Amino acid sequence: MRKASQIVAEILEQLAAHVRPGVTTDELDRISEELTLKKGAKPAFKGYKPGEVVYPKTLCVSINNEIVHGIPSGRKLKSGDIVSLDFGVVYQGFYGDSARTFPVGEISDKAKKLLRVTREALYAGIAQARAGNRISDIGRAVQETAESAGFSVVTEFAGHGIGRRLHEEPQVPNYFRPGMPNPRLREGMAIAIEPMVNEGGPDLEILDDGWTAVTADGRLSAHFEHSVAITSNGPEILSELGHV
């Protein structure tokens, strides 16, 4: 899992160099797939079919009001956009999954704050990923970080266990409500923590492509994700660049 997650981290970093005005989201997808195969890994998302519609690409690219699962296309990035790249691979039977939101050219102060707070929400969640804590400790920390900055968390999507499959138990919500499943975290577990934070309200819609989630109010959304192992030394961020 360390190796799979490092491949994800390295490729996300390489993609960052290609995020600029004028690049199409298909180009980013093509680059991510080439780099994946070159490293002896396979795309984790391409061909994935949790419901009715198969996911057709290697990368998820979600721009501005798109929250998650944006499908690469001929659309070009432009200055002032924010773009979330969500990417996963499988390497020797193990999965890695990570996401980051990038600025394209010059972005507004509000957009900068959204990116900073979403990343802080992820790290606040990671800090709670300790043996003995519960899943709710993660969601509570994420939600508190986002809401105290005046933003909202998306509740329709959650993080997840990760390992020999992309999505395993337990679900890792970015909020806490009494009564929700709330297992205790144990040493040896690996989870993907992935806050999606909205500038406005939490409501979303799914586009006709069956995948792209967009904010109902049309305002911005950001997404940061790491694959994290729970160890006797605390959280180990498997998908942090240069971790191993």
Name the site residues for Co ion (rule: CB under 5 A): 97, 192, 194
**Residues 168-207 interacting with ligand MF3 (rule: CB under 6 A):** 192, 194
| CB of 72 or CB of 96, closer to Co ion | 96
Q: Which does 177 bind (CB under 5 to 8 A by kind): Co ion, ligand MF3, none?
A: none
Could you say whether residue 60 binds ligand MF3 (CB under 6 A)?
yes
Of the candidates 105, 87, 57, 38, which has an alpha carbon nearest to the alpha carbon of residue 192? 87
Of the candidates 97, 78, 71, which has an alpha carbon nearest to the alpha carbon of residue 209? 71
Q: Which does 48 bind (CB under 5 to 8 A by kind): ligand MF3, Co ion, none?
A: ligand MF3
* Amino acid at position 56, single letter: P
| CB of 66 or CB of 225, closer to ligand MF3 | 225
The answer to whether the beta carbons of residues 76 and 23 sit under 8 Å apart is yes
Q: Give residue number: closest CB to ligand MF3.
A: 55
Backbone angles phi, psi at 20, to 5 degrees: -160, 165
Instruction: Go through the chain and tell me how many residues it has.
Output: 244
The answer to whether the beta carbons of residues 153 and 142 sit under 8 Å apart is yes
CA distance 106 to 112: 10
| CB of 69 or CB of 140, closer to ligand MF3 | 69
**Shortest distance, position 169 Cβ to ligand MF3, whole Å:** 14
| CB of 78 or CB of 123, closer to ligand MF3 | 123
Q: Which does 4 bind (CB under 5 to 8 A by kind): ligand MF3, Co ion, none?
A: none
Q: Which does 199 bind (CB under 5 to 8 A by kind): ligand MF3, Co ion, none?
A: none
CA distance 51 to 41: 25
**Shortest distance, position 132 Cβ to ligand MF3, whole Å:** 25
- Kindly write out the interface string for residues 18-47 of this chain, putting x where it contacts ligand MF3 by CB under 6 A and - elsewhere: ---------------------------x--
Of the candidates 195, 215, 99, which has an alpha carbon nearest to the alpha carbon of residue 144? 195
**Residues 83-102 interacting with ligand MF3 (rule: CB under 6 A):** 86, 97, 99
CA 170 to chain CA centroid, nearest Å: 16
CB atoms within 10 A of CB 93: 10
Helix (H) or strand (E) holding 25: helix 25-38
Q: Which does 60 bind (CB under 5 to 8 A by kind): Co ion, ligand MF3, none?
A: ligand MF3
CA distance 45 to 223: 17
**Shortest distance, position 69 Cβ to ligand MF3, whole Å:** 6
CA distance 222 to 119: 9
Could you say whether residue 224 binds ligand MF3 (CB under 6 A)?
no
The residues binding ligand MF3 (CB under 6 A) are: 45, 48, 55, 60, 69, 86, 97, 99, 160, 192, 194, 225
